[in-house]
Structure 1
Amino acid sequence: MSLNRNFLKGFLVVMVFLVSCKDEAVVKGDLLFEKGQYKEAIEAYDQYLSLNPTHVKSVYNKGRSYEELGQYDKALEAFRKALELDGKNVAALLSIGQYYYRDGQYDNAAFNFGKAVEIDGSNSQAYFLLGRSYHLQGMMKEAMGGYNNAISLNNDLGEAYLYRGALKINLKQGSNACNDFKTAKSLGVKDADEALSQYCK
């Protein structure tokens, strides 16, 4: 009986050691990322993922590291992997959407932002990005819905007011647009001053 107990105790010590080694690698990756040492962060995430290849957060953060290095295709590959592992990963969907947005593929961007909204209907940033993607495709009604939802969820989202104001200018709603520009300015959005001077004299 004591032999079994000692064996179990020894086994647990080994397991704790292995887990702590793995945890060390992922924590190291996160710390390196925070310091802006993205190449080193990727190495740490790779080390961790060699032991735990299905750890979604590490896969995603590895993608973010590539993104910060401007290696967008490698970042996209990591984000897609994270989404394969967790089909409801909103962060991965937003990052994939931003990849397409950056590339001017606004329809693909809207698709991914829309999926993020379906999963998390309380995400103001997802609604804002969805609104921008629609806006840049000339889908005015859909864009307005995106901005309105973003603002209703987070009334401090200055950029949503700015772009909603720009949309209202296109829709000939000048006074309402100026109110949005003023709110954007009060929230510290730097382009709001230019919009006010151009449209709200």
Structure 2
Amino acid sequence: MDKNLQGIQYMQEGKWEEAAKVFTEMIEATPKDPIGYINFGNLLAAMGDSDRALQFFQKAIELDENTASAYYSMGNVYYEQEQFQQATNMFEKAMKKGLESSDNYFMLGMSFIALEQPRLALPYLQRCTELNDQDGEAFFQYGLCLANEQYIDEAILQFNKTVELDPEHADAYYNLGVAYGYKENGEKALQMFNQALEVDPDHILASHGKKLLES
């Protein structure tokens, strides 16, 4: 098996030492190849060693400033550290370097949401759903941003897509209830709140919405 794939497989299996050994061998064999540094950085990030992970990603960029996946990986670390502006910068750089990945667009959108700029998140979440039409969470977050901008009909479409992909997504049912309530369709709103509570009986917001409609 290719060393790169072998190391990634070890990571997926939680075999950190074996993965580290493989990635170290990759770096020693081809020290000018940024991929080994990116993989080792991803391994360090997965193990919670964020500072060292960033150093490895930076080394990969020094070797090849067009290595888009290094910027993406740095963005993920910054996002986990709640340094959302830095995360946004990295995901944007990854995009500009040619990373046409649904994950990158999703994380860029989520970074803007974390910065309380949902309008800026809209095009990136939309692009994410275009590239991956099986990502229920992306449709949900896209729907939230649309609802925030008062595009209620469009938001309903996204929330419906979410529950189609993930029938256990209580928050999507709740937000459908809110959207139908906004459109003064009380019967449909109540149905959605009930659906949310069926999935999650402890959903406080759905319970409150239901009580308001029934009172």
- Normalised by the shorter chain, which TM-score bucket? 0.7 to 0.9
**TM-aligned CA deviation for residue 26 of structure 1:** 5.8
8 Å CA contact 2:68, 2:99 repeated in 1:
no
Counterpart in 2 of 1:115? Answer: 93
Counterpart in 2 of 1:175? Answer: 153
Superposed CA deviations along residues 66-113 of structure 1, whole A, max 9, x for unmatched, are 122121222221122122222122221111011111111111111111
Counterpart in 1 of 2:175? Answer: 195
8 Å CA contact 2:108, 2:124 repeated in 1:
yes
Counterpart in 2 of 1:105? Answer: 83
Counterpart in 2 of 1:4? Answer: none
Superposed CA deviations along residues 37-91 of structure 1, whole A, max 9, x for unmatched, are 1123213322442343223222111112112212122222112212222212222
**TM-aligned CA deviation for residue 142 of structure 1:** 1.6
Cα 1:35–1:119 change in 2 (3 A) is: same
Paired with 1:24 and 1:142, the residues of 2 have a C-alpha distance of 40
What letter is aligned with 1:135?
A: I
| 1:32 maps onto 2:10 in alignment | yes
Pick from 124, 128, 142 the counterpart of residue 164 of structure 1.
Answer: 142
Q: Which of 1 and 2 has greater Rg?
A: 1
| 1:149 maps onto 2:160 in alignment | no
* More off after superposition, 191-200 vs 108-117: 191-200
Q: Percent of counterpart pairs with the same letter? A: 26
Superposed CA deviations along residues 97-131 of structure 1, whole A, max 9, x for unmatched, are 11111111111111111111112263222222211
What letter is aligned with 2:132?
A: N
Unaligned runs of 5+ in 2: 181-188, 190-215
Cα 1:35–1:138 change in 2 (3 A) is: closer
Cα 1:182–1:41 change in 2 (3 A) is: same
Paired with 2:3 and 2:146, the residues of 1 have a C-alpha distance of 50
Superposed CA deviations along residues 113-155 of structure 1, whole A, max 9, x for unmatched, are 1111112263222222211112222223321121122223333
**TM-aligned CA deviation for residue 198 of structure 1:** 4.9
8 Å CA contact 1:39, 1:65 repeated in 2:
no
What letter is aligned with 1:110?
A: T
The aligned runs of 1:58-137 (5 Å cut-off) are 58-120=36-98, 122-137=100-115
> Partner of 1:131: helix, strand, or coil?
helix
**TM-score of the aligned structures, taking structure 1 as reference length:** 0.76
Paired with 1:28 and 1:155, the residues of 2 have a C-alpha distance of 29
What letter is aligned with 1:174?
A: I
Counterpart in 1 of 2:32? Answer: 54
**TM-score of the aligned structures, taking structure 2 as reference length:** 0.72
